[in-house]
Structure 1
Amino acid sequence: MEELLDRTGQDWDRRAHRIGVLAETAGRAAPKAWRKQRPRDHNALTLHAWSDLAHAHEDGSFDDAKATVDSCLLAATLAPSDPTPWVVLLAVFRLQRRPARELASVWREIKARDPWNREAHLQALRYLSPFECGSRVKVLEFLDGLRSAPSYGTPVTGVELAAHVDRYHHTQSQGGIEALSIQQYWARVDVQHVLDQASEYWHQPGVLTHAAALADLNLLAYALVRARRFDDATRILNALNGTATAWPWGWDQDALEMFTSWHNRLIR
């Protein structure tokens, strides 16, 4: 793990991606042991904090939230140019539903170091959603800010589509009258515009070059399937070459089963 993270240098996008994957897959013991062995190594501290975060999502709460926050702050002190400890801290504050002013101060630290940090934008998007601490108006303002900046082709290219998938999922899960007609969501003009642009350009070489590009292509394939745009979905599934991600395929059933079902149906 140490060598893997050291090799990223100041490629903050790839560093965050690798630490995130390790935190989700390495279990509790390895990050804890590395942090104990290297108590002032910023990579060990950041991984341990992200691992705490991953398990807090599973368990519903932190074992020791203050210790996790302290790990982030120490890692940030030891590696002042690295945005990743601040990204983890933002996610911790989001899970705790901390006041917006506290997240805003962390957000500024991240933006000063890595303006297009994908994980940070996804965390902020979900905090601002009406399903957490914000509203649909706040989400629209956030996305308008992305559209007004030259962000296309950066690691945040898929954030607007992620917002649509999140809204679809949450509306569906809440039930009620709006959920009964949720399939029509994909026919909205603004959603179709996002799908048009993404399906035309994202799979082309050199457009998506960030570390989580395959995750964003999975997001697009899923959205195209839901929108019943099967020709476009087939093109994106071909580009994925069988690589599946847990989100969003695993929202309401086994992710690999759902991905494989659509892959076998559309790829002949």
Structure 2
Amino acid sequence: MAREGARPSYDPAGPDRPLRGALQDLRTGRWMAMRTLLAETGQWWLWTQRTQVLAAAAAGTDVVRAWLAEEPDSAHAAVMQARVGVERALRAQRERHLRTHELWIEAWDAAQSASRVAPQNPVPWVCLLALAQLDPEQRWEEHRAAAPEPLLPPGPWGLLAEAGKRDPYNREAHHRMLQFLYARGGTGRLAEAAGYAQWAADRAPAGSALHVLPLYVRVERYRRDSGHDAALDLHWVAEDAARETRHALHAWFEHTHRAERSLLDLNHLAHALWGSHRFADAARVFEAIGPYFTPPPWMYRTSDRDRAVEIFVQARERSRAASDGSGPHP
């Protein structure tokens, strides 16, 4: 594959051209391309991924509401309505908006409704899992179910199980579970998140994106604790971090094709391989990333978020140079 240009770009659709077309249509206030795209999306993992991106673009508009008004019996429109509701509730919570609770209940109602009209679809259950992080005190009974393993904390395990029944090892469902664990706060919570990520990865088959989960927890740990390059670099050369990085490479990356991989997962793996000085392997992952870029995890290495792309380019070129033999090897 020919090498991509030196300056990557952030594109929420990444290499998914049909999704990019639907997003362009959505931004002009039209929903027909979104409807067609979802009708033609046959795999649940891709349905989950595409609806998440579409909802982020639609949350500030009335496009999905217009679709549902035009086609009130559309199960796909109902699921997208839940998606948009969740996106709005989470944004309100981040901005500490006074309507957060109201938007949360609206989103929960929409997700419950979507689960009834689209009973085989995992996305309504992913939506309910996403809302669980708004209840860090676990006041809702469904957010304090007993874990399937004694060492794991109580949480929205029933919601995770429902998503898993419809799409085993659903990537976003497990990331939403991680976000719930982060939201609980307090000392030791990151250790619980790390235990959960390892548990999920240990159960996942080869090729599952869940093998990358432990790398996200590591990024979250150093994001909270330091945020300085020196600390991050020391972090990745530690044996347990290097082991998790190797595992993600061999159990996920080497068992998947380009179209199956999340750009966010690829960026986290490239970042970890580069940080652990596995430059030849990092170069392979950078090639898979192509001309795209995701701000996390690179933006956590700088207080200037605009510099994140520069750090990405430096890491890519360092990895390529070592892989080609034109730079120093570790």
Match of 2:167 in 1: 114
1:128 is displaced (CA, Å) by 2.0
1:193 is displaced (CA, Å) by 0.6
Q: Which moved more, 1:233-242 or 1:59-68?
A: 59-68
Is the counterpart of residue 141 in structure 1 residue 202 in structure 2?
no
* CA distance in 2 between partners of 1:256 and 1:39 (Å): 43
Which structure is richer in relative contact order (CA contacts within 8 A, separation 6 or more)?
A: 2
1:203-222 equivalent positions in 2, closer than 5 A: 203-204=253-254, 206-207=255-256, 211-222=260-271
Query: How big is each residue's C-alpha offset from its partner over 1:125-166, in whole Å with a ceiling of 9 and x where there is no partner?
Result: 232248747723422432342244243312323212222222
- Going from structure 1 to structure 2, the CA distance change for 1:24 and 1:250 (only over 3 Å counts) comes to farther
Query: How big is each residue's C-alpha offset from its partner over 1:32-81, in whole Å with a ceiling of 9 and x where there is no partner?
Result: 32233333423222223322333444342536221111110111000111
- Going from structure 1 to structure 2, the CA distance change for 1:182 and 1:214 (only over 3 Å counts) comes to closer
Match of 2:136 in 1: 97
* CA distance in 1 between partners of 2:79 and 2:36 (Å): 15
Letter of the 1:45 counterpart:
A
Query: How big is each residue's C-alpha offset from its partner over 1:147-192, in whole Å with a ceiling of 9 and x where there is no partner?
Result: 442433123232122222222222225x9xxx98454221221110
Q: CA RMSD in A?
A: 3.0
* CA distance in 1 between partners of 2:260 and 2:55 (Å): 16
Aligned mate of 2:224, from 166, 170, 186: 170
Match of 2:290 in 1: 241
Aligned mate of 2:53, from 8, 17, 21: 21
TM-score (norm 2): 0.68
Counting aligned pairs with the same residue, the percent is: 28
1:1-268 equivalent positions in 2, closer than 5 A: 1-9=34-42, 11-29=43-61, 30-59=63-92, 60=94, 61=97, 62=100, 64-97=103-136, 99=138, 100-101=143-144, 103-129=156-182, 132=185, 135-172=189-226, 181-199=231-249, 202-204=252-254, 206-207=255-256, 211-251=260-300, 252=302, 253-254=305-306, 255-264=308-317, 266-267=319-320
**Equivalent pair of 1:126/1:132 in contact (CA under 8 Å):** no
Consecutive unaligned residues in structure 2, runs of 5 or more = 1-33, 146-155, 322-330
**Equivalent pair of 1:202/1:217 in contact (CA under 8 Å):** no
1:246 is displaced (CA, Å) by 3.4
1:228 is displaced (CA, Å) by 4.3
* CA distance in 2 between partners of 1:56 and 1:195 (Å): 34
- Going from structure 1 to structure 2, the CA distance change for 1:186 and 1:261 (only over 3 Å counts) comes to closer
* CA distance in 2 between partners of 1:212 and 1:241 (Å): 12
Greater Cα radius of gyration, structure 1 or 2: 2
Secondary structure (helix, strand or coil) at the match of 1:64 reads helix
Query: How big is each residue's C-alpha offset from its partner over 1:196-248, in whole Å with a ceiling of 9 and x where there is no partner?
Result: 233456554x4356744333111111223333443332222122222222332
